[in-house]
Each structure stands twice: as C-alpha cells, then as structure tokens.
A and B are shown apart, each in its own frame.
Chain A
Amino acid sequence: MKGKRSMALPYVVWSIAFVVIPLLLVVYFAFTDKNGAFTFDNLSKIVHYLPIFAKSINLALIATIISFLIGYPLAYCIARSRTHVQRNLILLVMLPMWMNFLLRTYGWMTLLENEGIINKLLGMIGLGPFEMINTQGAVVLGMVYNYLPFMVLPLYSILVKIDRSVIEAAQDLGANRFQVLCKVLFPLSMPGIVSGVTMVFVPSVSTFIISRMLGGGGNMLIGDLIETQFLGGSYNPYLGSALSLVLMVVMLLIMTVMNAFDEDDMEGMLV
C-alpha cells in the first residue's frame, strides 16, 4: 500500500495552519510590543505575576494529591469488584463527566454558599455557618470534583489488569499490607498513576472557570490572568501571549519529568 502517504496531506496542511501557526503566533506576540517591534518587556513583566503562577501550581498540586488519595482506593475497590458490578461502577464514575462542567461547578456554588445547603444542614446540628465559597479550599474542591474521573479511569484500567496472584505471592513471601502497596501495587500501576496525575494536573493548573466560580474575585489563577488579557478588561494579547508561553514551557517541563517515570513511551509522544 505505497504511495498513499499523500493522503495525509490535507490533514498536515490543516494542522500547520490551525495548530502550528497559532502556537508560533503566541511566541511571536510574546516577543512583540504594540508597535510590532521586538521586545523582552512582556516576558520580563512576568516576574510580577510569579505569585499567581506559584499559587496556580500550588493549588493544582494539592488538588492532584487529593484526587490521587481519593481516586486510588476508589479505582482499587472498583477493580476488585465482580465483573458486572465493575462495569456499572465505572459508568457511575463517568456519568457526571457527560454533564457540562459549568453546570456541575454551579451545583457546588449552590452547596457551598453562605446561605447554602451545607451550612443549613450544619446549622441544624448547631455548627457553623462556615465561610466556604470564595476560598482557596473551594477552588481545590472544584478541581478535585471536576477531574477526579480523569484520575480514576486510567488507574482502574491498569489496576484491573494486575494479577491477583502477584499480590498473594507477595503476601505469602511475608510482605505486610503497606509493603504490598509500595513494592507491588504502586510500581505495577505506575503508567496509570502517571496518566492520571497528568490528566488532573494539566487542566487544574490552567483552569479559569473553577477559580472564578468558586474562588470569587480574590483567587485569581494563571488561567484567569491569561483570559483577562484576551477577553477581559485589560486587553493585552502581548502580555497574554508571554504568560501563555511560560505556562506552555512549564507544562512541557513537568510532562517530560512525568514521562520519565513511565518506561513504555508512546510513539511520537512529544519529546
């Protein structure tokens, strides 16, 4: 079947026009000022925004760790259930994902409000009211909630393949529960952990909706900052591009590090 390489041509042209060139434009704008002259100003201005970068990465890390702590046992429980139960449980994990995340996050707004249901329930047993909405905790909760399925699904698909007898063998050879977890389960499920962590971390770092809906005005993240440069009040695509460029580079670095943990690399997966 030779000579059909040319069939990929329309796609390659499309990708260059709408993926590669736009990204090059981001780089171009990052190094340009309003008059189109070359400048380092945009990038050097980023120093002022480092706290926001740090906060985004910090909150996303916390959300990723919590998702892992909730998601790993959940995936394990599902993987160790009976086969037909497994299918239903996985469907239950995936079902919320098919509802738009804006609606689900809006649901949390209702729950967390000062006059909201959680405070009302707590009030009944004499607690609170607690200030939950418009806090960093609410933002982390929103991230965990929205991206937990992304953690559970890859973990489940790898855990379900682990042979039970491997765990039994480890137990027979005298490993306690903790050793089984650290020396058998974690190493065997590493590819799932890597993709789960990436799939939670990447959208968490770059979100601008969750922070706005649940974090109020005081919890600006890097995504919000970029968004306001393009569509918000402070229109400045040059600074916005510089911020995006830095975000992209940071993400690439993190993913390279993550991929180093994962031995079998995908063909053509970046770097």
Chain B
Amino acid sequence: MRSIGKKLYLACCFLFLYAPIAVLIVFSFNESKNRATFTGFTLKWYASLFQNELIMRSLFNTLIVAAAASIIATVLGTIAALGISGMRKRMRSAVMNITYLPVINPEIITGISMMLLFVFIKEIFHLELGFVTVLIAHITFCLPYVILNVLPKLRQMDVSLYEAALDLGCTPVSAFIKVVLPQIMPGIASGFLMSFTFSLDDFIITYFTSGSSFQTLPVTIYSMTRMKVNPQINALSTLMFVAVLVLLLLMNVRKKPKGVHA
C-alpha cells in the first residue's frame, strides 16, 4: 500500500516536470499555429527552423562562445587552482571569497555589474558590446566552477609523489605533466564540462553583455518567445531535448562498465 503511494507520488512529480516539455514536443508536429488543438502532422516547422538564418547564426555564436570560454576558463582556472593550493590560509580565504562571489551573487547582479564595466571602459578601450564582452563574461562566470572542481583533487593528491618524481630526475614541468596532471584530470574534466554547459545555457548574463549585434541562442529564443505564437520554438525545443537525451544515454553507456568493476 505504501509502495503504491510512493509510486503515485513519483509519477505525479515527473508528470509535473515533463508536462511542458511533452507539450512542446507534441505541438512541434502540429500543422496549425494553434497551441491547444492538434490539427495534423507536419515537419514544416523543422524545415523553417533550419532556414531561419538568425537561429542558425545564434547557434553558431553560442557554440563558439561556449568552446572558447570553457577552454580558456579551464586553462586559467587550473593554473589558478595550483597557485591557490600553495597559498597560506589567510590569503587562500581571501581569494576563495572572490571566487564564490559570482557563484552566490544573483545572476542579474553579475550581468548588470559587467555591463556597467563594459559601458564604463567603452571609450578607453574602444570595446563595443559584442563577442568579446560576452566571451569575457562567460570566462568570468565559468572560472569559479573550474577552480572549485580542481581544488579538491589537488587536496587529495599526495605531494610526496610529485617530490619523488623530482628526486628521480624529472624536471618540474615533466613531473607536473606525468604525475600531477593525471591525478587532477577528473577535476579538470568536470570543471570543463560544467563550464561548457553553463555557457551554452546562459541567458541572463549574456543578455546584459551582448549588445544588439551579437546574439547567442538563448537570447534569440527570448526574443522569439516575446512574439507569442511561434511553432519554430517548439521544433527547437524538441531538437534540444533529443540532443540532451542522446548525450545522456551515450554517457550512461560509457559509464556502465566502470560501475561493474567498482
């Protein structure tokens, strides 16, 4: 009896979580623009989606920014984590407080504060809002996630291994590459992945730092939702959902053999 109640509760929760997504998917195949009655099957919204130049260009922009921001943030953040781990407690606390700022500040504050900076220095550096400002903003909000992922790995690492490598004749650089890097690699990888997905998904901070000439996909989606009825949004949602689903399934398949050994 209790088990039935539990299953029913889970079902209700997942119905709540997936209802809007299901609606978007179903109505992406709807013939008419009507959002409540299904009038017939069509793929025309998908066709028009791929012909929509604005959406395609925004998608391209999003991918470029996400790739560049996450790579730069991962490199800069990993080096920073190495430095931070060598700091004494007081200094480390000070740096960590700054690191937590973008994480706990409401996104809108991060967005408007960077917008203020970019508008303020516009005259000095001839920097218009656009690709560069979005990239800087994305690197900035990705950096904490890299650092917070790499630092624990560095803390778990045995320093004597690195010293042993030096004693056995490694140069500091090769000791780092051969001994330290493999041990902190999981942290670097998850930091990179988090950065990449956050960057892909970010709307609020991009919205304030992108200006009018440079749009990422979320910003374009926002302007599309302002126009009320637009079945292309449904088609886009469906494609994104399928992409995420496939990615997750692939990751799961890849992870399974590991689980057997553990």
A46 contacts across to B, CB distance below 8 A? none
B240 at the interface (CB under 8 A from A): yes
Tell me which residues across on chain B come within 8 A of A270, comparing CB atoms. Answer: 97, 100-101, 104
Across the interface, do B143 and A11 meet the contact criterion of CB distance under 8 Å?
yes
Given the interface contacts A9-B83, A102-B218, does A93 sit within 8 Å of B17 by beta carbon? yes
Q: Is the CB of B24 within 8 A of A25?
A: no
Nearest CB in chain B: distance from A218 CB, A: 17
Report if B207 contacts A (CB, 8 A). yes
* Structural contact, A230 and B113, CB atoms closer than 8 A: no
Give the docked Cα–Cα distance between A25 and B111 (Å): 12
Q: Is B20 within 8 A of A145, CB to CB?
A: yes
Tell me the count of chain A residues lying within 8 A, CB to CB, of chain B. 80
Beta-carbon contact of B101 and A206 below 8 Å:
no
Nearest neighbor of A117 in chain B, beta-carbon distance: B36
B-contact bits for A186-200, CB 8 A (1 contact / 0 none): 000000000000000
Shortest beta-carbon distance from A68 to chain B in Å: 13
Q: Does A40 lie at the interface of the complex (its beta carbon under 8 Å from any beta carbon of B)? A: no
Tell whether B257 is near chain A: CB-to-CB under 8 Å. no
B98: contacting residue among A15, A110, A120, CB under 8 A: A15
A270 to B104 alpha-carbon distance, docked (Å): 9
**In the bound complex, CA of A241 to CA of B84 (Å):** 32
B9, B116, B208, B237 — most chain A CB neighbours (10 Å):
B116
Residue of A nearest to B114 (CB): A22
Partner of A11, one of B36, B76, B208: B76
Question: Taking each of A70, A107, A113, A247, which has the highest tally of chain B beta carbons within 10 Å of its own beta carbon?
Answer: A107
Encoded as 1 (CB less than 8 Å from any B CB) or 0, chain A from 228 to 271 comes to 00110000010011001001100100010000000000011110
Interface residues of A in 1-41 (CB under 8 A from B): 1-12, 14-16, 18-23, 25-26, 29
Task: Name the 8 nearest CB pairs between A and B, nearest first.
Answer: A107-B20, A8-B83, A268-B96, A11-B80, A7-B83, A206-B106, A22-B113, A22-B117
Digitize B182-214: 1 where CB-to-A-CB distance is under 8 Å, 0 elsewhere.
Answer: 000000000000000100010110011000000
Instruction: List CB contacts (< 8 Å) of B90-114 with chain A.
Output: 91-102, 104-110, 112-114
Q: A5-B86, A20-B98, A107-B21 are in contact. Are A95 and B237 (CB under 8 A)?
A: no
Q: How far is the CB of B228 from chain A (nearest CB, A)?
A: 8
Q: Contact at A107–B16, with CB atoms within 8 Å?
A: no
Inside 8 A of A51's CB, which chain B residues have their CB?
none
